[in-house]
Every structure is written in structure tokens, then in C-alpha cells.
Structure 1
């Protein structure tokens, strides 16, 4: 069984979800031939995939990280948004050709695209069996309207975005319709998802809601918490973790949310003087001496298990890990300008999580305080809506393996197999 993973090169979550599925496939099928076409955060994820027994092909060359700079301007028209951002980041002709060349070399039974539009397009063009793993029910722009974009501070060219939405929907619908299977870790919400491509696929059975596709949840033994605290220089008091997103539309929004975490921590310490903040800032940031600053933590699950509360951007792989681990969480969207996470922020609020948009430090502290005071890790209805059975990785890996075997069975035998 030969499976090729092609995670989208925007954000770390796509890499992490592909890594989780690859690890589970390796566990269940030790002889599987697994390859990843890695296009971002190569120095972090290359060694992680290699350690999981996955052959790594760096398709970008230069190190790519979308979290450390702005990715958009305030002008949203065809030239600035479609040509300037969507085409190079998602619907990229050069990448389509690159993926096609790799597919021919690798002769995969199944390509697994994690919301990698170019990789999915290449598979559909070539007739290569492919699966789509996605937290999007349609292309991002389709699930946010022009008034919301304008409220986020964008200058919207309405006719350009109308045409862009039509074109992107056609591409996404084609990808879904040609996929062997579509896997999603995002629960259906009628008000947000009715009429989308993935919703239609769920109705026909082509798509499956699997729950979280995440790494193995570590066992908590005696002394595990003490070990985590010691490694970070933390004392015995409550721990608040603050995390920013893996992709920033505007760099200043990331800085603003980091500042709000630090100020909220200051306010909370007035009632919880031993509260400690661990800040995952994606790059070095200035912070008070009593704040632990980390640029990135590839395996943060032990820290999450020790955390009393998490503050996080609503990146969906983080959402699924939080839900499976039952971590008390306040989700923070730094600005409506971070348009790619507006739908997730809205969904989380509808499901029952505290979900704030551009909160003041006082508003953030007010949302955190009840979670600290409650002091428990019982799952809420919001956790259960996203992770009804905890991790869904084993089920998702099984569905991918079945799709790969089915595709392989209907393919004419390779020349070398015929000779044998």
C-alpha cells in the first residue's frame, strides 16, 4: 500500500494532521509505503515525519512559515486577493505541475490532500485516486460574506469577489466530486454549512465526519505533570497557556493578541497570584519575566494536559486536540481581518465554547476567570460535539487504507507485478 500525503503549506495544522494520520497508518500497517510532500515548516516537521517512518520530499526548498508575516493587504479585489494571494497560496499552476511530476514518480495508490487545493487539482487532472482531508466545507471565501470582510477593515471589490467565489466553488466542488473519500473533523452546523460541497458529500456518504484526526494522546503517569513543569521552569500554581495561530493575515493582529494575553494574565493575577502564563508566540516576543515564552512546541499535548486553561486562536487542528483532551479553552480571534478563522470562531461560539473577537484584556480575563475557578476537566457539550469519542484518528486511518486498497484493486497491475 503506497500512500502520499500532501498537506497544505499554509499553517502548521495541516502538517500536524497529516503527521497524525501517517503515524496511525504506520502503527496499523507497518509495511505501508508512506511519503509526504512537505511544503512548509520543513525544519520542524521533516524530522517528525522521518521519525514516523515517512519518506520526506521537500517540495519548497526554502523554509516556509506563514505565521511570521502578513499575508494580505487591506484591498480585496481580483488583482490583490485572487492573483496576489489565492493563486500563489492555493490554486497554483506551478505547484500543480510539481505534484503531477511527483505522482508519476511515486505511483501512489492514494494521494491524501489535507486541504491542499493544488495537490487535489493535480490528482483530479491525472485521474490519480485521492482523498480530501478538510476542516473546510467549501473554500474559505465561500463561508464569509462581504459585510463581514468590510467589518474586518477590508476594502471589498464586490464584483471581483463574486466572480472569485463562483470560480473557487467550482474548483472545490470538482475536487470533492472526484475524491475517493472526504474526511472532515468539523461537525456539521446547518446555519453555516447547508448547501456546501462537503455537506452534500456527507448526505451521499462520500464524506465522513471522523472527529479529531490528532496525534496519540500521551498516557499520564505519576510525575508526568511535575516533569512538564520542571522542563519549563514552572511552579506548582495554575497554568494558563496562550497560543497564537499558525497563519496570520496581518502580522500586527498576532502582536495585538499576544499583548492581550499578557495583560489578561496581569489582571488575573490580582485574584490568582500564583497563575503562570506559558506563551507560544511562533517567534521570540518581549514579555515580563514571569511569562515563559516559547517560539513553538512540536508536541504540546503534555503541556495541554497540565494546563488549567488555554487561550488560543481558533485554528481547527488546535480545536480538535483541545476537544479530545477536554481542555478548558477560550478561543480568541484577534480581528475580523483574520478572515480565514472567522467561520471557525462563529462555529465554536454556536457549539458552546467561549469564543471572542478582538477582546479587551478585561473581557478576556472575565472569560477565563470562571474556567480557573471551576477547576475541573469534565467534558462540556462543546467538547463532545467535536470529539464525541475522543480521538478519531484510528477510524480516519482505516478509511484511508480502505480507499487505497479499493483504488489499487481496480488499477491494472504494474509491469513489474505482471512479470512476477
Structure 2
């Protein structure tokens, strides 16, 4: 074999790198795999929709069957019953005090009339006695001490003391009853609010139990309204994401190393917005569903091995080809924009100032944009496919306003890629870790 033909053969073997092999059979296999994954996506979507409908139906049935006491708790129900009993006791005591006051007034007036009648009778008896004894009244008017006069003065003194005692008793009774009457007829206590722990303490999420006496003394009980279990929310969060890259060995590009960006670099930063509905099954368990927008730009440096030269050695009739490699750095940037649906359930750990939750959620994303750029020169726009994620998260919330809370949420996620064939020189592991800090507002 001539040297010219050998050089041509080597050049044909080592020149250029093709990411997608041009083979009709291979294309059929790829299309078959894509169709199978698309069918799997439809199955997942149907299963998720059925699970969501069953969950909402079970929650609605539970809400209709569960009494209010199951939500408000036995302590609040006992407090409400004690308030009602106290108001009834006040009404009964007020009626008793009024009746006692009327009876004492009647008795006081009767005793006073009887005392005055007795005084009149005693005086008339004294006068009649003096007349019957034959002594003229005018003759005995100047005497200081006589038997009839002493008796009259003594009776008058006892009558005066009795009248004074009766008046003091009546006055004291009226004063004491008046004080009691003021206590019972005072302005009603302020309305008792029982704040809801299902959602942040806002007026829209509370109910009232207020007992107020009417003019007739009969209490009017306003029945408590049922807890509001539904809430519409919106939240925004920047987040950092962490994934593991591995070299794709199925292509013809030799990657010797992958240099990722630092852990808290802005190149890892993404933004996520979410709007949805949250439903409280009870105080501890909440479910939520909604839509979200997800934007992220991820960068990595690839150490690529390129053929610099080829050493040809001949031994007998055999030729040995030994390529000589050189290293080059290739910057890869992936820009992603997704729109997705989510459904999740979370469990409250405590009721303190900082509320803590743990939960799981599932997300289905449709890629709106996916651009891959190498060295800021070559940009490949690819038809973004469908993605699904399963998340396990911890959430700490700090109430900032009655309708707004700050939260910190670390998340572990596992992703399932569907509907598209990867042709990049590196693959991303399906599991990752993220951390987000954001704000949630209840509308």
C-alpha cells in the first residue's frame, strides 16, 4: 500500500466528529423508543389525574362528614361551652337579684307603714288613757315626767330606731343589688375570636363565637362558621440546583474530565414561580396542586481530548497507528425554560413561631426552550420534551405578614426524562439536590 493511500485512509478515519449517526435503521429504533416513552408519559399523566381526582373527592367527603369540633379541637369547644354557661349563669343571677330587690322594697315599705301605725296607736292610747283618768291634758302638759309621757317617748324611740334600721337595710340592699345589677347588665364582652391553624391567621380564615344578652335577658348564640379549608396561594423563589455529570460514552467525542461550577455560584441559580390551591384535610395534613414556571441556566467546562498527530509504525507487513492527543477546554451552557403541573402533600411537624413541614410532590414539565451552547459559538436549539420529577422536601416557614410567609426549602428530586434523545457529550444523573429561599402569599 502506497503512503498516499495510507494517509488518505487515516484522514478519513480520524477527521470530524458526528453526534448523530446517519443510519435509517438507527433512526427507526430511535423513533420507536420515542413513541414508547411518549405512551409512557400519557400513562403517567392519566394515573396522576386519576389520583388527584380521588384525593380531592376523598377530602371533600371527609369535610362533609367531619364536625367542626374535629377541626377546632376539644379545648376550643370546651372554652366555647364554658362561655355559654357563664353567660346563662349571669342571666339567671340578674333575674334573681331583681326579684330580691323588689321583695325587699315591698317588705321595707310594709314594715315602715306598720311601724307608723303602731306609733299612731300608741299615741292615741296614751291620749285616751289620760282622758279616761280625768286629768285634763292642758294641766299635765307642763310636767316633765309622767307615766304616760315616759311610755309615749319610749315607744316613739323604739319606733324611730326600727324605722332607721329598716331604711338602712333597704338602702343597703338596694346598693348591693344595684352593684350586682351593674355587673350583670354591663356591656357584653368583646367578641371571642378562635383563630384557625389550618392557614395563616387572617380574617378570612377565622370563625366567631359570640354570646350577647338581649333586652329580654335571653342570650343569642351565633353559631360558629365552618373553617375555611381552601386557600389560593402564589410563591416565587430563587434556587440553587446540584446535579452530577457523567461522560457520554456512546458518542465519538473523547471527554477526559468535567469541571463543574462552584456550589454557590450564580451560574447555578435558577428562578421558579408557582400559583396553586392548597386544601387542608386537617390541622396536620395539607394537599396542594398548581402550575409553575421554571427557568435555569447550567454551565460546565469539558476537558476534551483531540487528536494532534498520528504515529505510524510498520512491523513486517503490519502498520500500527498511534494517535497523539492534546487537551482542550470546551464550555457547555444549557438554557432551559419549562412549564409544569404539580401535586403534593405535606405534613406539619409543629405549631410554633416557625412552622415546619415535610412532604412529597410530583411534577410534570413541558419544555418551552432548551438551548445548548458550546464555547459561546455553536448554539443548538433542540425541541424540548417532557420531564417528570418526584420530590422529597423539608420546609420551614416564618410568618412575615398575616397573608405572607418567608420559607426555606431544601429538596431532593429524582427526574425521569421522556420524549427526546440526548445527543450531548455528557449525561446528567437523574437525581439532584436543590435549595430555595422564597416568599408565599395567600390571595
Q: Larger Cα Rg: Structure 1 or Structure 2?
A: 2
Higher RCO, 1 vs 2 (CA within 8 Å, ≥6 residues apart): 1
TM-score normalised according to structure 2 size: 0.17
Query: Whose strand fraction is larger, Structure 1's or Structure 2's?
Result: 2
